[in-house]
Structure 1
């Protein structure tokens, strides 16, 4: 643990590097990764367009009118950049299908990219500008999350305190990204981050007991990112010790803890961006290995009728999210609640789903209330598993023990998540995911054109054409 009282100016150091970076400084793997994440997140925005919460976010974003500066993805409307950032951030995170950085356990793309998209479209920036700003923001988001991660305890202190690291770190990262996009000097980038730190917020109680507020967290963070950068450019300043100060960001959110090396070491040279995990399934990432176990059980011929009991072993810190209160997790009332239920995802995967194993239609309200799934869920327990604890949070593993009537006990271990560096999704799988998601909003003949635009993002003089292409 770093002695925060002996350090100053961390945000200034990060801002110095961010301001100096150019597109040609980015490794090819980073450029490719940003393109993949741009396409992935646009697909998620398109798929989420018709959710009731998305309609609420759109009504909120358009209520006050304003200059038509940027598109809301998948809608025939342009709104002020801050409003577009909010709406697209809500869309991006609403399906719990967006990427995850480990072991910080936050979702970098959903708060950062919508902020960069909105500012880049408003200011008619190039594809190279968008990629560079996105890379800066994603990397900064990962590092802020890791600076609050206690390696000795193996846990994020943000989450331990009930805080949503994604929106909290994402707001600051988005501000730095947008300020860099605008060509701001180091002092102004640092000010933007310092301003955003006073806006960053989010608690995760809704994961446990319900409520849709979490869906707006990334929208609010993206809005804050654009707003803070604009305020900094206008002349508002932030504290130079905003991160490490006695009353700074980390003191406020995680107490007297700050891993300065995780935050600062190699920024701009060593990149975490390519290693951010893509999600193959539209559910809380803690459930993914459970889904894989359910798929494996089905492939082995295990059936729900033959099961007497299932014990799902996961890492201890994740039990509160996917297994508690167990009565709620065994009987989710909505598809959204089902996304955070280990009993549900196992039952659904065992029965068989779409997409890459389970797809969006498998998390409908109707499926959450399916009598067959509910009957099996009543026979499922979720417990902490020592083997999973040793691996978490570098992976979100699961050890599933199935007591059957006809074949005794079947044990299935899934210790590595699909979509990460050790088990990456193929280009075909990522394309399938985008096509499935975008196809919920756009006709099939439009999807290929968007893919071509994003694949050629670095060659675009004005990124507005990408977002124009998503209009229904």
Structure 2
């Protein structure tokens, strides 16, 4: 008898979790992912990408099966997942796994939510599916991580691993909730491997298509599970094969065995980082360093020059092209700018340090922020290179008008296992994210429901507040979810 292939082992893992559950601790972690995704999704409703997807989903119509956040009625599960995944990723506020550099929940959670509602699953089944889907997504991402390169091969080739791997994790989650057995979950994975895609060029030079990557991956995930249910099949060697996913996307640098090493025993899920700031994760340590300088009394007017040291691979995203990063053309582009985010943090932002109001088009044109950003030079840092991508570190040096030079080095990212967000901070993030669409009372009630998802036999109370929340007007700008400013937030 031949050895089971990787997809067979993943399918058995998912099927076992479907039948036996993943346990209380992992369900609790999955509930936190659910809370984070739904908060991010509510906040992202005004984005132009969400408006485009809402229009498409409305035009498609179809069988009423699942909630499409912010729209009345229900839509086909794949359509609901398309909108949900777009919203989850649109503000770049979604969780991150290192060193794979994936944002797994933004695809897995929307796909799982759509199918769970469509089939009438209970809360425990939903959380089990989320846990397994995230685990599979990041394990596939780790198979494309090259230790010598110190980076994801997907990323080096300009491929959005989040969308590619997320489609697979989402397909497993969707298959579990749809009641597929192990062989058909395997086929769902094999089918989804032909569907995930995404290019990262928009990170460098503009365009809003990246906001839809996780939506399309969630759409693909649900579709793959539905096709598997109706008899479509995928290749048994979809991961390790000569023309399989890893060889196609990563070539000989891929390590397929990482997908199943310790599978079911060693879980990656609890180590996935929550984001405290709604911007590219590579900018976060620089933000933290700027917040520390601010806590030491440094103001924008004190600064002659700022030098932002970062891992060499990161500079392509947050530091190049130089002038485009110093003067981002929009709020969305500002979220991928090292100079802008450092300037915004030093001047002062909202939420947990920076928040949505710091990434509007108007904020990106603020003369004071741009003047400070113009003083920022982004450079490679040897120590940061040694740590990356297990953390996304930074070192910020300020040359001041009084002749002093102050330096802050941040080597452990806020929101991860080494510097976690507290339950209070996660709840605050959700409340602030929901503030523009739900009343404080409804937001707190929804958070309580989410934290007790494992106990829900019927998910109606979870979905009801999402049908037609009070949505802010849709524009091309990223309008603030709240106007609260927390002057001391973010110091560590």
| Cα separation, 2, equivalents of 1:469 and 1:273 | 27
Residues 97-106 or 19-28, more deviating = 19-28
Runs of 4+ in 1 over 3 A off after TM superposition: 22-25
Give the corresponding residue for 1:99.
95
Give the corresponding residue for 1:267.
263
Q: Residues 192 and 237 of structure 1 are in contact (CA less than 8 Å); yes or no, is this contact kept in structure 2?
A: yes
* Cα offset, 1:24, TM superposition: 5.0
* Match of residue 204, structure 1, among 192, 200, 206: 200
Q: Residues 15 and 186 of structure 1 are in contact (CA less than 8 Å); yes or no, is this contact kept in structure 2?
A: yes
Note if 1:149 corresponds to 2:145.
yes
| Structure 1 runs not aligned, ≥5 long | 1-5
Match of 1:82, SS state, is: helix
| Cα separation, 2, equivalents of 1:73 and 1:101 | 25
| Cα separation, 1, equivalents of 2:451 and 2:3 | 42
Match of 2:466, SS state, is: coil
Note if 1:335 corresponds to 2:327.
no
Following superposition of structure 1 onto structure 2, how do residues 49-60 of structure 1 map, counting pairs within 5 Å?
49-60=45-56
Match of 1:99, SS state, is: coil
* Cα offset, 1:160, TM superposition: 0.4
| Structure 2 runs not aligned, ≥5 long | 470-492
Match of 2:226, SS state, is: helix
Q: Residues 330 and 341 of structure 1 are in contact (CA less than 8 Å); yes or no, is this contact kept in structure 2?
A: yes
Q: Residues 23 and 128 of structure 1 are in contact (CA less than 8 Å); yes or no, is this contact kept in structure 2?
A: no
Note if 1:195 corresponds to 2:196.
no
Residues 393-402 or 27-36, more deviating = 27-36
Aligned residues: 467
| Cα separation, 1, equivalents of 2:403 and 2:64 | 63
**C-alpha offsets along residues 30-87 of structure 1, whole Å, 9 cap, x if unaligned?**
1111001101110111101122221111111111211111112243342110000000
Note if 1:287 corresponds to 2:277.
no
| Cα separation, 1, equivalents of 2:134 and 2:13 | 14
What's the TM-score once normalised by structure 1's chain length? 0.97
Following superposition of structure 1 onto structure 2, how do residues 447-458 of structure 1 map, counting pairs within 5 Å?
447-458=443-454
Residues 257-266 or 87-96, more deviating = 257-266
| Cα separation, 2, equivalents of 1:265 and 1:84 | 34
| Cα separation, 1, equivalents of 2:324 and 2:97 | 27
Give the corresponding residue for 2:319.
323
What's the TM-score once normalised by structure 2's chain length? 0.93
Change in Cα spacing, 1:217 to 1:7, as seen in structure 2 (3 Å) is farther
* Match of residue 212, structure 2, among 207, 211, 216: 216
Q: Residues 246 and 256 of structure 2 are in contact (CA less than 8 Å); yes or no, is this contact kept in structure 1?
A: no
| Cα separation, 2, equivalents of 1:397 and 1:322 | 13
Give RMSD over aligned pairs: 1.3
Give the corresponding residue for 2:455.
459
Q: Residues 74 and 441 of structure 1 are in contact (CA less than 8 Å); yes or no, is this contact kept in structure 2?
A: no
Give the corresponding residue for 1:87.
83
Residues 253-262 or 188-197, more deviating = 253-262
Give the corresponding residue for 2:479.
none
Give the corresponding residue for 1:375.
371
Match of 1:424, SS state, is: coil
* Match of residue 346, structure 1, among 338, 342, 346: 342
Q: Residues 112 and 173 of structure 1 are in contact (CA less than 8 Å); yes or no, is this contact kept in structure 2?
A: yes
